[in-house]
Amino acid sequence: MQKLIRSIAPRARLCGASRGPDRRPARGAAGIRRAGQVGGAAPGRSGAVALITVALIAGAAAPGAGDELAPAAAAVADGDLQLALGRMAELFEAGYPTPSQVLADPRFSPLREDPEARAGWRDLMRAHARESRVTMVVPDEPGEAMLVRGHVVRSPDGVPIAGAVLEISHTDATGRYEPGEGAGKDRRARLFAFVRSDHEGRFELRTVKPAPYPGSSEGAAHVHFRIHADGYRSYGADFRPYDHPRDPEERATSIARGWRFSTVHHEDELLVCELTIPMQPRAD
């Protein structure tokens, strides 16, 4: 088991990326063990990965003595979501070192399901984005476990950019951004995170593989991001976490922007992809 847990952060190849613009299923242990059915992998394999991920997340987010998130969690339990957000804000503004921990904490799941609370939660996480390694899903989120490694660099010389903030969102295992009919809007996505690149320009994101929109083909699934850094041009794009043929014009446009293409890789039963994200300095 220790070997498997250590393997949660493997080395991997690059994955494809492309330029872009914007009812969850029943939850529980059974949802995790069915994860392989989402991405086409064998259920046993992805189930093992998901359970390892659960063990890591639960160890970080489990409540206990000295749990500074307990007051906010109590407000959620009482149904007062706005009070919960207020208590989180006070804690984060006081310097709480790992704000994104709440994204992986099941006690705060009701914030994802309420559209108004979710919008406030998203604003709060944006304002306090300070971690370079983020888990954006709770342990029982259905889907194949996925690790994204990113490297933010200056174009064209490849110098790492520290402190770049990425807003990341994608669909769930049903192909929806939010509960309801149709796919919804990515800016209201239930699955989201904010991550800040470290001193080497790197970040890691643990999530689940997104599914295509309802009625779309497998090739339509993607992860949205928007990136901002002082002194650089902000922009939005998306990448597809698997090999997928591109139409020549789209691929040429992406390559011109500095995207690098390679393959998605399974290592120790974890879906891993890496991408390099270029940023152009602002002229002003």
pLDDT confidence of residue 253? 66
pLDDT confidence of residue 11? 36
pLDDT confidence of residue 38? 29
CA distance 213 to 221: 7
Amino acid at 103: L
DSSP SS3 for 99: helix
Amino acid at 34: R
pLDDT confidence of residue 164? 98
pLDDT confidence of residue 215? 82
Residues in the chain: 284
Please answer whether residues 12 and 272 qualify as being in contact, where contact means their C-beta atoms are separated by less than 8 angstroms: yes
Write down all domains in the chain, each with its CATH number in brackets.
2-62+69-279 (2.60.130.10)
Low-confidence ranges of the chain (pLDDT < 50): 1-65, 261-262
Identify the CA nearest to 76 among candidates 33, 36, 109, 44: 109
Query: What is each CA distance from 204 to 6, 83, 193, in whole angstroms?
Result: 15, 30, 11
pLDDT one-digit tens code per residue, 178-190: 877 566 677 789 9
Amino acid at 159: V
Measure the CA angle with vertex 166, ends 270 and 255; round to 5°.
80
pLDDT one-digit tens code per residue, 190-204: 999 999 999 999 999
**Residue 132: which residues within 8 A CB-CB, separation 6 or more?**
195, 196, 197, 198, 202, 203, 204
CA distance 282 to 284: 5
């984060």: which residue's tokens?
92
DSSP SS3 for 78: coil
